[in-house]
Amino acid sequence: MFYRIEQTLINRMIIAITSPLFFKEARQLMQDALKLPNFIIYSLPEGLWVFAVTIISENLTIRFKKIQISIIYMPLVVAYFIELIQYLSWSKGTFDWLDVMVIMSFWTLGYIYVKNNDTSKTIKPKLIYVLLTYIMIVLSYVWK
């Protein structure tokens, strides 16, 4: 969060709870203390949410009459949609080919995990929670 712009929702919440000065000082302190590579700052978070949502999307489907669509593919669709919006400059985010590769890699890892592990005994999230997760992810990006 300290590496993202101040207009992101989480940063605006921190500023509202503390103060703009506190946020700026804390941000500078964190950036000076943790000299993280760009991959960890910008690409890894997207890969991690794609991985997590792929796993929780296992066995969930949307049905339209006789058509059944597996939700496990939705992280790819949503993540690539966000990248497309960035490519078209419709958001303040930056399109990056590395992000595209990270999305595919982490989705593949999540898919392999789901297919190779017996998760039938775990509690399955309801579709509405998964859809709300997608909505929060899309809304967490800063739009122009």
Residues 45-56: tens digit of each pLDDT: 889 989 988 988
Strand, coil or helix: what is 64?
A: strand
For the chain, the structural domain boundaries read 1-35, 38-139
Query: Tell me, what DSSP letter sits at residue 92?
Result: S
**Average model confidence (pLDDT) across the chain:** 82
Q: Which residues are bridge partners to 62 per DSSP?
A: 69
Judged against a pLDDT cut of 80, whether residue 68 lies above it is answered with yes
Considering only 69-73, 78-82, 119-123, which range has the smallest mean pLDDT? 119-123
In tens, the pLDDT along 84-141 reads 998 998 887 788 999 999 999 999 999 999 888 866 656 566 667 777 777 777 666 6
Write the Ramachandran bin of 95: left for phi over 0, alpha for psi from -120 to 50, otherwise beta: beta
Q: Using alpha carbons, select from 119, 138, 140, 136 the residue that is nearest to residue 128.
A: 136
Q: Using alpha carbons, select from 20, 125, 28, 36 the residue that is nearest to residue 72.
A: 125
**Per-residue CA distances from 26 to 21, 36, 41, 109, 122 (Å):** 9, 16, 17, 35, 39
More confident residue, 142 or 17: 17
